């Protein structure tokens, strides 16, 4: 029996899940109980998810057990979205701008549930989010840059185009000290590597294009991606050649 199976069995015996979820959240701590989040998202209903989403930043700071409930709520909304409740996209987009990084990670997990069911729809939606706020751009990149979602060349190609557009938008960004900008920069610091590995023939030339950019934040993003092991495994000589040009 897997850990997820154990969680499903326990939850099936409980009328009120909240005390158990708080106790098993893994918070405060470095890692929330991601397996349990996914089980709650699978087994919960809309009323539960909405109740847990009511835990805002004041009631549920980023490293609190209550934060775990809020994350369960947003990932659960992703399950409903994947099942056809498209209106849930507006809710999820609102939480993409949440100040809590754990909630933003939950947003990415929620959107990936849509991608598992309908990747065409997810990418089309993320093309719109990529024109939005800094944190919406970050959510778009994080949602689609997931290896399991990029096994189709078409999806990888569209993902690279989204990343390229978001990266280009950085050039015009004036406030580089904001937390939102830092979150976007950090996200782009790994997302490119995922997409390039998915479609190297088209991804590598895009990285090479940005090597010539003198914007310090874009150069940081490129360097961070070139340092990822997945790129070294893909083509170590190419990585070394790119790093030599930085």
Reference 79, options 36, 123, 29, 45; nearest CA is 45
Task: Give the mean pLDDT of the chain.
Answer: 97
Please give the pLDDT value at position 193: 98
> What is the pLDDT, as a whole number, of residue 101?
98
pLDDT of residue 10: 97
Q: What is the pLDDT of residue 59?
A: 95
pLDDT of 205 reads 98
Share of the chain above pLDDT 90, in %: 99
- The number of residues in the chain equals 246
Question: CB-based burial of residue 162 (10 Å sphere; 0-12 exposed, 13-18 middle, 19+ buried)?
Answer: buried
Report how far residue 128's alpha carbon sits from residue 115's, in angstroms, rounded to the nearest whole number: 15
pLDDT digits (tens, 9 = 90+) for 4-38: 999 999 999 999 999 999 999 999 999 999 999 99
Task: Grade residue 211 by pLDDT with cuts at 50, 70 and 90.
Answer: very high
Confidence of residue 42 (pLDDT cuts 50, 70, 90): very high
Please state the domain extents for the chain: 1-117, 151-246
pLDDT digits (tens, 9 = 90+) for 130-179: 999 999 999 999 999 999 999 999 999 999 999 999 999 999 999 999 99
Query: In this predicted structure, what is the pLDDT of residue 172?
Result: 94
Whole-number pLDDT of residue 144 = 98
- φ, ψ of residue 45 to 5 degrees: the values are -120, 175
Average pLDDT rounded to a whole number, residues 118-138: 98
Can you tell me the distance from the alpha carbon of 166 to that of 141, in angstroms, rounded to the nearest whole number? 8
């Amino acid at each position: 029996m897997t850990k997820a199976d154990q969680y499903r069995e326990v939850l099936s015996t409980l009328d009120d899940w909240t005390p158990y979820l708080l106790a098993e959240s893994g918070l405060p701590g470095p890692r929330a109980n991601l397996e349990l989040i996914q089980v709650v998202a699978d087994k919960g209903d809309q009323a539960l998810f909405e109740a847990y989403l009511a835990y805002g930043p004041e009631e549920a700071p980023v490293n609190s057990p209550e934060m775990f409930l809020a994350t369960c709520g947003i990932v659960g909304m992703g399950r409903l979205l994947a099942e056809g409740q498209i209106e849930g996209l507006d809710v999820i987009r609102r939480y993409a701008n949440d100040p809590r990084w754990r909630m933003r990670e939950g947003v990415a997990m929620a959107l990936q549930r849509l991608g598992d069911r309908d990747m065409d729809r997810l990418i089309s939606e993320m093309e719109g989010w990529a024109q939005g706020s800094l944190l919406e751009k970050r959510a778009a990149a994080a949602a689609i840059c997931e290896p399991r979602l990029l096994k189709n060349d078409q999806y990888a190609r569209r993902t690279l185009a989204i990343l390229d557009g978001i990266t280009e938008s950085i050039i015009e960004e004036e406030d580089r000290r904001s937390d939102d900008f830092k979150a976007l920069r950090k996200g782009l610091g790994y997302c490119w590597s995922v997409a390039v590995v998915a479609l190297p023939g088209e991804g590598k030339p895009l990285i090479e294009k940005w090597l010539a950019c003198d914007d310090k934040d874009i150069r940081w993003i490129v360097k961070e991606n070139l340092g990822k092991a997945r790129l070294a495994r893909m083509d170590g000589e190419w990585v070394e050649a790119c790093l030599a040009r930085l």
